[in-house]
Structure 1
Amino acid sequence: MKIVLKAAALAALALPLVSCATITRGTNDVFVVETDPIGAKVVTTNGFTCDATPCSFKMPRKSEFQVTITKAGYKTWTGNVTNKVSGGGGAAMAGNVLVGGIIGAAVDGSNGAMLDLVPNPLVVKLEKEE
């Protein structure tokens, strides 16, 4: 009987953590860049680069940055990546509020765990130079 009570107490203590976006989603996201044609160089303003697409980067979910894509014979492409509250992040935040996890809600709100990078994947069709 004591084992059952201990298990129930542990489950009750762990319940608020289950809905915490920081634990269920993490603070990083995999950002993917695809181009047509493949093989373009990617440089971001937050310090990430790759020499040939397709490529991916592990980045903080709360990042906002510019992406510049270059390839010989094609026009340079530059665009912005931002973030927004995702469905999964919003659900985890709602779980924090419902279960009374004010600390979890504050942590999720400050570290970006409830966000997703957008657009992701970034898909760019490069235009030929004239």
Structure 2
Amino acid sequence: MSTRTTGTRTLAAAMLIAVSVGACGSITRGTTEKMAFLTEPSGATMTSTKGYACPATPCSLEVDRSDAFDVTFAKPGFQPALIPVRTQVVGAGAAGMAGNVLAGGVIGIGVDAYTGAALDHTPNPVSAVLVPEAPHARRRRAPDT
């Protein structure tokens, strides 16, 4: 067997191993997560600090697992509500990271950490009870003296 053929086979085997052990969570969980946004009463707009938006609640969006952001719900006649949405490693994300460790996938751990594949958002669903704006206090006239 020639040195060239052996080198090609070694390179192919190394690439196959890297692909098979790398990014376990990215493969099994994906890099996005479906999130729901709800308000009571419904019909509020939702905007976020990462550019996610819905014209009216209830709604759902695919968001990057690695994104932590703040959500603002707004509706005429109600006070705006601000909800922080954060990420954390939970359940299936931890299992994906453990799979990387057991398989020796240092590259996979790095990819999963970078893409957020091991993360879930909390809270999910994101919900808010909107508070009506206070009616403007009417000014009373001072009594005539």
> Do Structure 1 and Structure 2 share a fold, with TM-score over 0.5?
yes
Q: 1:127 aligns with which of 114, 125, 131?
A: 131
Is the counterpart of residue 82 in structure 1 residue 94 in structure 2? no
Q: 1:46 aligns with which of 39, 47, 50?
A: 50
Kindly tell me the number of residue pairs found equivalent between the two proteins: 118
Sequence identity (%): 43
**Unmatched 5+ residue regions in structure 1?**
1-12
The runs of 4+ residues in structure 1 deviating greater than 6 Å are none
Structure 1 SS opposite 2:42: coil
**Unmatched 5+ residue regions in structure 2?**
1-16, 135-145
Amino acid aligned to 1:77: A
Question: How far does the alpha carbon of each residue in 1:90-117 deviate from its partner, in whole angstroms, 9 at most, with x for none?
Answer: 0110011112122211211121100011
Amino acid aligned to 2:48: T
* Partners of 1:70 and 1:116 in 2: CA distance: 25
- TM-score, normalised to structure 1, is 0.83
Structure 2 SS opposite 1:69: strand
- TM-score, normalised to structure 2, is 0.75
Q: If you compute each CA radius of gyration, which structure gives the higher value, 1 or 2? A: 2
Please provide the CA RMSD for this pair: 1.9
